[in-house]
Amino acid sequence: MTKMTYAAALSHVLTTCEMPEEVRAKLVALSESLAKKASAEKKPTAKQKEAAEVAQTLLVQLKENGNALTVSEMIAQLPVCEGMSNQKVSALIRSLGSAVERVEEKRKAYFRAV
């Protein structure tokens, strides 16, 4: 059985149940509203935009550095990471995806720009 969503439940009720025309009109409008909301394009928030800009700056600085660095070394050496937590820098690196290569040496993770 598939997951029952509000849209699926409304569709089921509209096709199988008998009801007054006024109720049917309200449910059809509600169904259309749900469909419109689901298909709307969502813009990134201000924090998401800022994080993307910081991630790109981090990538540029990693390329300029040229060496593979740990997250702690990035915080110490790269100006863009100044004052950030290890968790924040790790999240930014993960957001860069395949633009950054992860290498493990002696159980330590090093990151290098590709």
Q: What is the CATH number of the domain that holds 64?
A: 1.10.10.10
Q: Are 13 and 32 part of one and the same domain?
A: yes
The one-letter code for the residue type at 57 is: T
User: What pLDDT sits at residue 40?
Assistant: 67
DSSP assignment letter at 114? -
CA distance 49 to 65: 24
Q: What's the whole-number average pLDDT of the chain?
A: 88
Determine the Cα angle at 41 with ends 92 and 97, to 5°: 25
Tell me, yes or no, whether 1 lies in a domain: no
Please write the tens of the pLDDT for every residue from 53-85.
999 999 998 888 888 999 999 999 888 888 899
DSSP assignment letter at 40? P
Q: Are 35 and 51 part of one and the same domain?
A: no
Q: Are 60 and 16 part of one and the same domain?
A: no
Which parts of the chain register pLDDT below 70? 1, 40
**Exposed, middle or buried by CB within 10 Å (0-12, 13-18, 19+), for 111?**
buried
User: What pLDDT sits at residue 6?
Assistant: 85
